[in-house]
Structure 1
Amino acid sequence: MPGDRLPPVNRLEAWIVTGPLGHLLSAAADWAVLIWRLTRNRLSRKG
């Protein structure tokens, strides 16, 4: 249905969140959490 299309700004926002940039940012966040947890666990074992 042609009347159901989002405005271009909303389509761009949705593409940024669900497109390649959103996937890249979520992967970077996953790696950051993993490294933070591994470092925290390693430091707690030394103490």
Structure 2
Amino acid sequence: MTRSQALTLKSLAIEAYQPGQFEKDLTRAEAARRIQMLRDEIALADSF
């Protein structure tokens, strides 16, 4: 994963109260999937 992805993923994981989603040794593709999943989850929570 890129440095940018790591920073984004860590921030989103904290915001979504799911720190376990952040792992240091992810591939770029897996990091992108987790980032999108967390963004979707946060957007859903914000819609209520």
- If the length of structure 2 is used for normalisation, what is the TM-score? 0.45
- In proportion to residue count, which structure has more helix? 1
Ranked by relative contact order (alpha carbons within 8 Å, sequence separation 6 or more), the top structure is 2
Structure 1 or 2, whichever has the larger Rg, is: 1
